[in-house]
Amino acid sequence: MENRIEILKADVQQKVGRNIILFQQVEAMLNFLAAYGEFSPRTNEEAQFEDLRKRLLITLAGYRQELMLEFLARCQLSSADSLLQAVVYLDGQMDRLLPEVERLQTLVKNQQAAMKEWAAILDGKPIEELLSQHETLIRVLDDYARMATGEGRWVPVFDVSHRLSKSMPQEMSALEATYGSRNLLSLIRACGKFEVNARATDSRPEYWFRLKA
């Protein structure tokens, strides 16, 4: 019995990690499409993407909340029955999200093709000019704010900055040239769309943001 529980625990841990990675992949694709969605002609597909994007923002926020708070709280690691229920739950979460992921992957490929056409139109103009025209990071920040589910729907600036440095390194490195902001916090403050809250810590303040009411 003890060996079975250990096997089930390992299975649950693997599936939790798998689902979290899938959430991150969806988030990266949403970031890309939110940032560059204006670079393709307005079509029925774009309208469908907007519906999909809004739905996935809500879905991702709910899944994260459910997985990181509710699921972990109710999963009893010493109970085989509880672990089996956890496996079913995690697989179900994956199965519900995969069809949407496949649609996102198709949209990303289409968008990448559209951006190649834009590259030809730019004809040597700096990428910063292109980014500036479309407020790339501001659109993505708006998405993060809409995904927030905690009390007051505040989003930690450091966490978002860390994520974007990995998923959108070119845009982050062009912050000052594109937006005149030396860092993400400066951009959040300057764009006028968000409230900023500083929270005292033992070392230095932590900054959080949310959409203005």
Which carries the bigger pLDDT value, residue 173 or residue 127? 173
| Tally of CB atoms within 10 A around 154 | 17
User: What pLDDT band is residue 106 in, cutting at 50, 70 and 90?
Assistant: confident
Residue spans per domain, the chain:
1-124, 125-213
Cα gap 82→8, rounded to integer Å: 10
User: What pLDDT score was predicted for residue 41?
Assistant: 47
Residue 128 pLDDT level (bands cut at 50, 70, 90) = very low
DSSP string for residues in 123-164: TT--HHHHHHHHTHHHHHHHHHHHH--SGGG-EEHHHHHHHH
SS3 87: helix
Comparison of pLDDT for 135 and 140, the residue scoring more? 140
- pLDDT attached to residue 208: 94
How many other β-carbons are positioned within 10 Å of the β-carbon of residue 102?
10
- The pTM assigned to this predicted structure is 0.57
Cβ–Cβ under 8 Å, residues 29 and 105 = yes
Q: Which CATH superfamily is domain 125-213 in?
A: LOTUS domain-like (3.30.420.610)
Place 38 in a pLDDT band, splitting at 50, 70 and 90.
low
pLDDT at 91: 92
Roughly how many angstroms between the first and final C-alpha of the chain, as a whole number? 54
